[in-house]
Amino acid sequence: MGRAAPHTRDSLTHPFAVDTAWPAPAKLNLFLHVTGRRRDGYHELQTVFQFLDYCDLLYFVPRGDGVCRRVEGPDEIPADRDLVVRAARLLSEVSGAGLGADIRVDKRIPIGGGLGGGSSNAATTLVALNRIWNLGLPFDEIAELGLRLGADVPVFVRAHAAWAEGVGERLWPIDLPEPWYLVVTPPLSVSTAAVFASPDLRRDTPLVDLQAFRSGVVGNDCEPVTRALHPEVGEVLDWLAGHGIARMSGTGASCFIACDTIKQAEAIRHEVPAQWQAFIARGLNRSPLADIMRGL
């Protein structure tokens, strides 16, 4: 079956383009091992990604002049460096359709928290504009484009919890329990580049299998480096450890524990020190982005 013809500059009407809130969910790394370093400097990883029902919301208004710009978004991220703009421009360039978009970002996911907000925003932009511009690109092609923007982007495009290896691009869907998570973030942003550049980062953790993950014989190799660079993250982890098994997502700064019920999570949240941001979210094996695509 051939691809649908893209909208032209004179036919930019789409029932979902303006009013639809496109979700860009946060993710958690349920563990993160650094298993090696490639010659090009990228690190080999093993991790498990699970989504949260805690999302940034993106809105798109198509343009016929090829201009892709962010008209609203977080002050901390310059518009031209925002992954939503880079993703839109990449898709416009690769498709050759000559279309553009005004993009509004309702930012909720903590920046620099290791929750994948930027990668998720990029993935949602690619998926949404592929639909809005009527490009008809298959998801495999969109995921490949996403990898050019960041290693975590493909898992958000594929929209299912996954076991990941390589730089994060080799993905196998996985079904996991979907607990309630309490996520706590100190008031700081962690540089992923700084953590992976550290000479103290362990880079030779042996490969593990699914059984090891399910039995809990896993951890986060980035945690010692992040603790050293940002003692506040260690304070959050130590505090959460008094209430359950505390983990750090990605390179931090966000940390989390799993709870059996939302009532349990709420009881712990009420005790979180005021200087830390905290939210409760449900773990999801299926991304909210997949749900909205089914409804369009």
The pLDDT of residue 16 is: 54
The dihedral over CA atoms of 67, 68, 71, 77, expressed in degrees to the nearest 10, equals -130
Residue ranges and CATH numbers for the domains of the chain are: 22-173 (3.30.230.10), 180-284 (3.30.70.890)
Share of the chain above pLDDT 90, in %: 88
Q: Is the dihedral of CA 75, 79, 85, 90 positive or negative?
A: negative
d(CA 187, CA 185): 7
> What is residue 293's predicted lDDT score, i.e. its pLDDT?
78
Catalytic residue among 27, 82, 107, 221: 27
Residue 117 is labelled as binding a ligand: yes
Q: Which of 53, 56, 82, 152 is catalytic?
A: 152
Predicted local confidence at residue 27, as pLDDT: 98
Q: What is the pLDDT of residues 11-56, one digit of tens each?
A: 344 545 467 999 999 999 999 999 999 988 889 999 999 999 999 9
Q: Is 152 a catalytic residue?
A: yes
Taking a C-beta distance cutoff of 8 angstroms, is the pair 48, 162 a contact?
Answer: yes
Instruction: State the Cα–Cα distance between residues 273 and 66, nearest whole angstrom.
Output: 47
Could you tell me where the beta strands, DSSP code E, fall in 15-109? Answer: 22-37, 43-63, 68-72, 100-106
173 forms beta bridges with 162
Annotated binding-site residue? 112: yes
Q: Judge whether 110 is annotated as a binding position.
A: yes
Beta strands 68-72 and 100-106 are parallel
Residues of the chain with pLDDT under 50: 1-2, 4-5, 7-13, 15, 17
Q: Is 115 annotated among the ligand-binding residues?
A: yes
Q: Is 234 annotated as a binding residue?
A: no
Q: By C-alpha distance, which of 143, 149, 131, 125 is closest to 70?
A: 125
120 is in an annotated binding site: yes
Q: What pLDDT score does 9 carry?
A: 43
Q: Is the peptide bond before 122 cis (omega within 30 degrees of 0)?
A: no
